[in-house]
Structure 1
Amino acid sequence: MRSKTVAAAVAGTLAAALATIVPATVPAAVGETAAAAAFQVQPVAWGRCADKSLRSAGAECGTLTVPLDHADPAGPTIGLAVARVLHTKQPYRGAVFTNPGGPGSDGTWVASYGQYVPRQVGLTYDWYGIDPRGTGASDPILTCDSSYFGWDRPDYVPATAKAMKQWRTRTERYAQDCGKAKARRLLDHVRTTDTAADFDLLRQAIGLEKVTIFGFSYGTYLAQVYATLFPGHVQALVMDGVVDPDRVFYRSNLDQDPAFQKSFDAFLTWVAKYPRTYHLGASRTAVEKRYRQLRQQLARKPAGGKVGPDELDDALLNAGYFNGYYPYVADAFAALANKGRAAGIKALYRSSNPTGKAADNGYAMYLATECTDAVWPTAWQTWRKDSERLHRKAPFLTWANNWFNAPCRTWPVKGTQRVQVTGAGLDGVPILLLSETHDAATPYAGALAVRRIFPGASLVAGVGGYSHAVSLSGVACTDNAIADVLASGALPRRKAGNGADKECRPLAAPKPPKKGARVAPPPHRAWWGR
């Protein structure tokens, strides 16, 4: 469930308990009471934000001090970067806690999202964003190998035993590096339950009995876990790009492979609609052929000595998340395929794989959470057979996804049994689910599964859409459902059966820009995850 933000050009489980280690079968109220009594949280000293975009949104920033280990409330503490945008309209309706996904993403920037809710309903809430433990501006942060995402890496698709060994060695070494990282002490305490407990300490710090949780992608799983552990403190839940809690996380990543193949095919079909613009073919088959030819060419000779088939695939993957990127990705694809110009592909690759100090922070924390949130297979044969099987029908992402998650096989901290999300204790709590029906990062089946788990939830579906977590992007049918639940708790009427309760058109794919116009990503995006 790899994640990316627009700024970078782009959604576990029972793990640690709260004040004591709480088994998954213990009622949430036990963990809730223990967490509340165990640590005396201090108010946040709010002040000026260092981030310019947060300042322009009217945000205040500060640090929330929390225990490193919620089972040891008198032990060492860590600092979490937090941001808030206070309400500017009446009536005041409470607080919205946000998480943009990942896991592994910083999240303070999502505090600015209230402005996108229709009818100014969002402005009647205080919006909070947090850089989860180990990420962003929180302290400490986890970094294992900042150079891990280099140029011209071995081909994701292992055509030989040697290539297979290269990737196995590479991913095993990364796990070892994380086990020796400076912030190694974090690794036992970055499960989703830890972050849920941090959210509740923020709730206590601002003095509210209940809060609304608005999660995107992995943030929907965090919302489910928070609601499981702290049902009495939930005012409402809004979940966009819904994770199936019964499939975290090995199986959910396998589910992504065929889903991303369909999403990638949809992008190729869109490119084929504009042969005079991109000159890559007039049918999906023709465009796919050009892609395969380019991939083979780069395997023989990387563009500029840097862009090989892996870098190409990582760059094109952006289109699989969000159709707003189609023109940007297609332009870069065409420039390399037709003219040998790699600048666009390089920029797309680097946007989600940055360089510099702590460049791997997001990836390290993605693994640190997912690898310990649930139990992963340790036998390489399981990983290999699953990838060989899926590659036959979904070649675009399968092996890339395998290697992205493979450090979990040898991760230095063992995974634990996932949280049993049941929906208990949430009677009368408004729960809104949102998903496009061909979402690849969090397949639509997950939204249907969560709808079954939460009998009071309503599901809004963007029928036929291929984008991930795109609420508050201008589709009135979808965005008005968010405004309604935040304004009054109103939900679309629940229908019988296993389907959507409200159907909307999906986010429309754009047309290519006019000749000579600058091609750039759209300015406003939610978060999505791989």
Structure 2
Amino acid sequence: MRTRAAVLCAAAAVVAGSVTAPPASATTRAPVQVSPVTWKKCGTTDYPTLQCGSVKVPLDHRNPRGKQISLALSRVPHTASASQGPLLVNPGGPGGSGLTLAGFVASALPKKVAAQYDIIGFDPRGVGKSSPAIDCVPGYFRPVRPDPVPATPALEQANLKRVQSFAAACGRKYASLLPYLDTISAAQDLDSVRQALGARQISYFGYSYGTYLGAVYAKLHPDRVRRLVLDSIVDPTGVWYEDNLSQDYAFNDRQRALMAWIAKYDSTYKLGTDPQKIEAAWYAMRAALAKKPAGGKVGAAELEDTFIPGGYYNGYWPYLAEAFSAYVNGRKTSALVEAYRNFAAVDAAGDNGYSVYAAVQCRDASWPRDWTQWRKDNWAAYEKAPFMVWNNAWYNATCAYWPTKTLKPLNIANGKLPPVLLFQATDDAATPYQGGLTVHRLLAGSSLVVEQGGGNHGVTLSGNTCLDTYLAGYLTDGKVPHGDGVADAVCQKTPDPKPLTTKAASTSSRGSTLHGLLGFRG
């Protein structure tokens, strides 16, 4: 979850109101046989035991014998003599590919724990190697984009035309597919995967948006959940418009945390010791790049794109600080361009991930269809938290013009599950802390493990031994901690990184790898 005045053509006309589709599990249907998965070797240097396969699922789960689509799967098979069954893993998004995540999770868990599971990755419907995969406007994020802050009517119109054109293109290219790209449909796909694996129950481990997908699956099929781990938790009561506004304030706080970190290392970055003055220098850099993009690629929008990942993972801070310092102190642009390539340019060539992100979020829930509401809400947020408000607004504004009707989100409250394990950092920007508290309350019998003071997104399997011990214990025997406070257990955050010029330059390799797999959407 990301955490992006021409009139649309008739093909993408605004549709007001909302319609609720009944969950497929609530409809009467005859059993449909799902073919077992045929696995083939597809190992890589990093994950040599990885296998790949696919499964056919209904496009419309209310019509299980109708048109079929294909989901790409990956697997690291269990090696222990006794198996605990499949553990499905998801990196979030919506729109994130999970094929490589299976290899990462298998390698990052303790060997004795990983050996007990068939660890299953998957590309959700519409994503990556699943078929069909969607790509509404290839190169949609190619630089240089208009300044996100609509300080003039011309800038507002330029950004509005972009998002309206994107929505219209999706409507033209994928009119028959868009009504079936939503979280409920993706959750029903998981049950088809369960059947194809020949399992009576599945375990599930999801990050970010993957926590919402897992909670929806658990609501639809509570009896088919064996173990459920949710890390960096979406607030299901705010999907998706309110959740995105909440992100704006949290990311602004994380950007200021970066400024304070830079101030601690003035001897390295030479940007001063006052975080407020350093922040002012950052906005001055932004204003200069809006007029003259660095290397012809990094304008105001791209600068924000480059620094937003620092809100997800502080391991990127030293690289961002070096690029910032080089520009301010020597007007050198090469480091900024390199940082943009490394952290922000993932969508510049193709937009499959973003296309699915938009399709799912726009379909999942109601959005304001009146642009004046967006303008009012985002200017109000900008006054208090300017860092990424308008960048985030335009990232999501396609939903104001999306060419499908909307669904009503499920109430994920659940009292029918086995013990569930939740992980949440207190200063997470992409999925703010309140989401963890809310889901802890809604899932009866769940246990919440908090990383106190942590601001990274996706906190397990990234170097915090305390958190990982709770995860490994739960996956081994299903036991969860129980406490008397808001949280059932509290772990201290991992230390912030050091500048690259010190002996402690390298960040956790596991953390860096994980956050590369999670991407920067949510």
When normalised by structure 1's length, the TM-score is 0.90
In structure 2, C-alpha distance between the alignment counterparts of 1:209 and 1:289, rounded to whole Å: 57
In structure 1, C-alpha distance between the alignment counterparts of 2:257 and 2:181, rounded to whole Å: 36
**Structure 1 equivalent of residue 117 of structure 2:** 125
**Structure 2 equivalent of residue 12 of structure 1:** none
- Structure 1 residues 501 and 517: CA distance shift in structure 2, 3 A: closer
SS in 2 for 1:280: coil
**Structure 2 equivalent of residue 245 of structure 1:** 236
- The percentage of counterpart residues that share the same residue type is 41
**Structure 1 equivalent of residue 177 of structure 2:** 186
**Structure 1 equivalent of residue 376 of structure 2:** 385
Choose which of 49, 54, 59 in structure 1 pairs with 2:50: 59
Measure how far apart 1:71 and its partner are.
1.9
SS in 2 for 1:129: strand
Q: How does 1:109-508 map to 2 (within 5 A)?
A: 109-112=100-103, 113-118=105-110, 120-181=112-173, 183-351=174-342, 352-354=344-346, 359-426=350-417, 429-496=418-485, 499-508=486-495
- Which sections of structure 1, spanning at least 5 residues, go unmatched? 5-14
SS in 2 for 1:325: helix
- Structure 1 residues 282 and 145: CA distance shift in structure 2, 3 A: same
- Stretch deviating more after TM superposition (107-116 or 262-271): 107-116
| Preserved CA contact (<8 Å) 1:214 1:239 | yes
| Preserved CA contact (<8 Å) 1:211 1:234 | yes
Measure how far apart 1:215 and its partner are.
0.5
Letter in 1 for 2:425: E
Letter in 2 for 1:22: P
In structure 1, C-alpha distance between the alignment counterparts of 2:202 and 2:329, rounded to whole Å: 52
- Structure 1 residues 489 and 515: CA distance shift in structure 2, 3 A: closer
**Structure 1 equivalent of residue 34 of structure 2:** 41
- Structure 1 residues 175 and 285: CA distance shift in structure 2, 3 A: same
**Structure 2 equivalent of residue 107 of structure 1:** 98
Deviations 1:31-55 (A, max 9, x none): 5x74xx4432111111022x6357x
Deviations 1:80-103 (A, max 9, x none): 110000112344222111110000
Matched residue count:
502
- Stretch deviating more after TM superposition (409-418 or 110-119): 110-119
| Preserved CA contact (<8 Å) 1:278 1:334 | yes
- Structure 1 residues 103 and 338: CA distance shift in structure 2, 3 A: same
In structure 2, C-alpha distance between the alignment counterparts of 1:228 and 1:259, rounded to whole Å: 28
- Structure 1 residues 309 and 268: CA distance shift in structure 2, 3 A: same
| Preserved CA contact (<8 Å) 2:497 2:507 | no
- Stretch deviating more after TM superposition (141-150 or 445-454): 141-150
SS in 1 for 2:74: strand
- Stretch deviating more after TM superposition (473-482 or 273-282): 273-282
SS in 2 for 1:434: strand
| Preserved CA contact (<8 Å) 1:92 1:124 | yes
Measure how far apart 1:261 and its partner are.
0.7
Deviations 1:212-257 (A, max 9, x none): 1100000000000000001110001100000111111011001101
Measure how far apart 1:153 and its partner are.
1.5
In structure 2, C-alpha distance between the alignment counterparts of 1:521 and 1:116, rounded to whole Å: 12
- Structure 1 residues 355 and 22: CA distance shift in structure 2, 3 A: closer
In structure 1, C-alpha distance between the alignment counterparts of 2:413 and 2:109, rounded to whole Å: 29
SS in 1 for 2:308: helix
SS in 1 for 2:490: strand
Choose which of 56, 67, 74 in structure 1 pairs with 2:65: 74
When normalised by structure 2's length, the TM-score is 0.91
Measure how far apart 1:326 and its partner are.
1.1
| Preserved CA contact (<8 Å) 2:366 2:406 | yes
Choose which of 505, 509, 528 in structure 1 pairs with 2:496: 509
